[in-house]
Amino acid sequence: MLLEGKIGVVLGVANKRSIAWAIAKRAVEEGAQLVLTYQNERLKENVVELAKDLTPSPLLLPCDVADEKQIDALFAGIREKHGGLDFLVHALAFARREELDGSFLNTAPEGFRIALEVSAYSLVGLARRAVPLMEGRKGSFITLTYLGSERAVANYNVMGVAKAALESSVRYLAADVGPMGHRVNAISAGPIKTLAASGVSGFSKILDVVKEKAPLRRNVDALEVADAAIFFLSDLSRGVTGEVLFVDAGFHAIGF
Residues with catalytic annotation?
Answer: 146, 156
- Total Cβ atoms within 10 A of residue 154: 15
Tally Cβ neighbours within 10 Å of residue 80.
9
Query: Does residue 58 have a cis peptide bond before it, meaning omega lies within 30 degrees of 0?
Result: no
CA dist 194 and 231 (Å) reads 22
Using alpha carbons, select from 100, 75, 244 the residue that is nearest to residue 169. 244
Q: Supply the DSSP string of 103-140, one letter for each residue.
A: -GGG--HHHHHHHHIIIIIHHHHHHHHHGGGGTTS--E
Q: Which residues contact 138 (CB under 8 A, 6 or more apart)?
A: 86, 181, 182, 183, 235, 238
Torsion of CA 206, 151, 187, 89, to 10 degrees: -90
Q: How far apart are CA 11 and CA 2, in angstroms?
A: 20
